[in-house]
């Protein structure tokens, strides 16, 4: 079964694909030729994947650290009476908090995935 045979019911006579019922004809549709010509994916070497993954993690942790430092600086500026608005200090604190919570959740998901892989029987 080819990938396009499963969507043949949605093909219109003009070669476009209709994903939803014809409720709004002004919505754009995707030509079937564009779907059939997907780019090929070439696997990267394992050392490239490992280094790029570790680089991505270190960049993410660095950005979170930068947001934490900026929040700390804005709080210190607010306390010392510098020209820092309360709104900006609160916004930077919330940005730092949300980014840290996201990092913790990503870490938890990665750890759960690793544990699940270790539990698999080979």
* pLDDT confidence bin for 51, thresholds 50/70/90: confident
* pLDDT confidence bin for 52, thresholds 50/70/90: confident
User: Shortest CA distance to 106 belongs to which of 72, 52, 63, 57?
Assistant: 57
pLDDT in tens, 60-100: 999 999 999 999 999 999 999 999 899 999 999 999 999 99
pLDDT of 70 reads 94
* pLDDT confidence bin for 57, thresholds 50/70/90: confident
Helix (H) or strand (E) holding 40: none
* pLDDT confidence bin for 1, thresholds 50/70/90: very low
Confirm if 68 and 103 have CB atoms less than 8 A apart.
no
Identify the burial level of 79 via C-beta atoms within 10 angstroms of its C-beta, where 0-12 means exposed, 13-18 middle and 19 or more buried. Answer: exposed
Domain ranges (residues) in the chain: 5-36, 46-119
Task: Examine the pLDDT at 20 and tell me if it is beyond 50.
Answer: no
What six digits make up the tokens of 23? 């409720």
């Amino acid at each position: 079964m080819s990938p396009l045979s499963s969507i043949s019911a949605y093909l219109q006579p003009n070669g476009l694909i209709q994903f939803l019922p014809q409720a709004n004809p002004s919505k754009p549709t995707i030509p079937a030729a564009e779907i059939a010509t997907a780019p090929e994916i070439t696997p990267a070497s394992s050392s490239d994947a490992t280094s790029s993954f570790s680089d991505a993690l270190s960049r993410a942790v660095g950005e979170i650290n930068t947001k934490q430092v900026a929040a700390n600086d804005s709080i210190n500026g607010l306390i010392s009476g510098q020209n820092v608005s309360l709104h900006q200090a609160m916004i930077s604190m919330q940005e730092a908090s949300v980014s840290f919570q996201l990092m913790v959740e990503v870490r938890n998901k990665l750890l759960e995935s690793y544990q699940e892989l270790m539990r698999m029987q080979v």
